[in-house]
């Protein structure tokens, strides 16, 4: 049994994936020689030569080839099912492991058996700290976060959600951490299962952390381990889909944990936001202000509104677009 299985889900980011794997294989050579690591890449139908690159440059990497994109949660579960390690690290392809991160994660988990999931400190490309630890969102948080109303939100509301009251370099018990790098143990997966595959993209790590925490495990933000996260390089390729999946996943999360009524209030509110934004963009287009940008945004918002932010609309969108 390997000590660590690293699962990377990739979609059309061949060069970044290469850098990610190289960072795993070249960091902390002395530590790597003492443990057994396996790397599993799940490719979601990339068309940029990713699979060919893996075969030629990293023949020891286990590659799972999907003909299309089944979604981030489903693909991670495919990798988890293939993994044999006593620990698992789910890693985005647009990341790079820093220094002795893998040693630090394993070492901390070994001496803290009640920790179910660790989130290393994420760094931006320029080396600054990327916000990655969170408290569970409330309905008030959901009404403001990642909407055009966010600048108007009460400062304390989002400060609490983003944990701005705690130091970035402090080891903390948290509610959840962002999914660019998630370190967990096999016992956790055996107990709670993998990610909820109803989430195509976004909120799957929030949901998974909640399941793990509800099962009695600790979720810990661990800044002694660091990972550079270049951020959103796959989702940047599909602007409309990014909005659709983010907001639909948000509604799904609140339906699962807060009930139908709360999720419907949120869904209608979010749709109203996009109706307003659509109107603003149409007005700016009529006034001749950056018309190509306005055209792109109008198309994205119309596409989102057509889904109704419902699971059925999301399924139809995923079938037709497969981002």
**Can you give the pLDDT at residue 312?**
56
Residues 39 and 120 in one domain: yes
pLDDT digits 0-9 by tens, 153-186? 999 999 999 999 999 999 999 999 999 999 999 9
For the segment 205-231, what is each residue's pLDDT rounded down to a tens digit? Answer: 999 999 999 999 999 999 999 999 997
On whether both 88 and 153 belong to a single domain, the answer is yes
The pLDDT score that the predictor gives to residue 322 is 44
User: Which of the four pLDDT bands, split at 50, 70 and 90, describes residue 1?
Assistant: confident
Claim to verify: residue 243 and residue 192 sit in the same structural domain:
no
Among the three residues 229, 258, 288, which one is the final residue of a domain in this structure? 229
The answer on 251 and 215 residing in a single domain is no
pLDDT at residue 317 tops 90? no
Question: Are both 100 and 187 inside the same structural domain?
Answer: yes
Mean pLDDT calculated for residue range 33-41: 85
- CATH number of domain containing 90: 3.90.550.10
pLDDT band at 56 (very low <50, low <70, confident <90, very high): very high
Q: Number of folded domains in the chain?
A: 2
Q: Are residues 202 and 173 in the same domain?
A: yes
Same domain, 97 and 172: yes
pLDDT digits (tens, 9 = 90+) for 83-119: 999 999 999 999 999 999 999 999 999 999 999 999 9
Q: Could you tell me if 22 and 126 lie in one domain?
A: yes
Say if residue 62 is in the same domain as residue 202.
yes
The confidence band for 44, taking pLDDT boundaries of 50, 70 and 90, is very high
Beta strands in the chain (DSSP E): 4-10, 37-44, 62-66, 87-91, 95-97, 115-123, 129-130, 133-134, 172-173, 176-177, 181-185, 218-229
Given a cut of 60, whether residue 33 has pLDDT beyond it is no
Among 23-27, 81-85, 134-138, 249-253, whose mean pLDDT is lowest?
23-27
Name which of 59-68, 114-123, 223-232 the model is least confident about.
Answer: 223-232
Domain boundary among 181, 196, 229: 229
- Strand 37-44 relative to strand 115-123, pairing: unpaired
Does residue 163 share a domain with residue 243?
Answer: no
pLDDT of residue 149: 86
130 contacts 53 by C-beta, under 8 angstroms: no
The CA R_g of the chain, rounded to the nearest whole Å, is: 20
Same domain (yes/no): 54, 86? yes
Domain limit, last residue, from 202, 229, 256: 229
pLDDT at 313 over 70: no
237 secondary structure, DSSP code: G
157 with 255, same domain: the answer is no
For 99, the domain range is 4-229
């Amino acid at each position: 049994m390997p000590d660590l299985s690293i699962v990377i889900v990739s979609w059309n980011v061949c060069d970044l994936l290469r850098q990610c794997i190289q960072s795993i294989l070249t960091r902390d050579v002395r530590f790597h020689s003492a443990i057994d690591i396996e790397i599993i890449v799940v490719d979601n139908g990339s068309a940029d030569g990713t699979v060919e690159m893996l075969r030629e440059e990293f023949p020891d990497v286990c590659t799972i080839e999907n003909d299309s994109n089944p979604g981030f949660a489903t693909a991670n579960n495919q990798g988890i099912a293939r993994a044999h390690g006593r620990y698992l690290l789910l890693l985005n392809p647009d990341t790079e492991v820093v220094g002795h991160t893998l040693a630090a994660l394993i070492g901390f988990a070994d001496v803290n058996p009640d920790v179910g999931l660790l989130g290393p400190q994420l760094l931006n490309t320029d080396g600054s700290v990327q916000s990655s630890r969170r408290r569970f969102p409330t309905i008030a948080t959901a009404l403001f976060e990642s909407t055009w109303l966010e600048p108007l939100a009460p400062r304390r509301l989002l400060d609490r959600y983003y944990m701005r009251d705690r130091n970035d370099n402090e080891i903390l018990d948290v509610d959840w951490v962002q999914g660019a790098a998630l370190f967990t143990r096999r016992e956790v997966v055996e107990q709670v299962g993998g990610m909820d595959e109803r989430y195509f993209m976004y909120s799957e790590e929030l949901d998974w952390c909640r399941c793990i925490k509800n099962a009695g495990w600790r979720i810990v933000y661990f800044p002694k381990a660091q990972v550079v996260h270049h951020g959103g390089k796959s989702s940047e390729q599909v602007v409309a889909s990014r909005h659709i999946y983010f907001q639909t996943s948000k509604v799904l999360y609140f339906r699962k944990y807060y009930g139908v009524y709360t999720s419907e209030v949120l869904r209608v509110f979010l749709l109203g936001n996009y109706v307003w934004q659509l109107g603003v963009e149409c007005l700016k287009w009529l006034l001749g202000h950056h018309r190509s940008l306005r055209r792109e945004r109008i198309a994205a918002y119309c596409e989102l509104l057509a889904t109704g932010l419902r699971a059925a609309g999301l399924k139809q969108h995923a079938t037709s677009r497969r981002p």
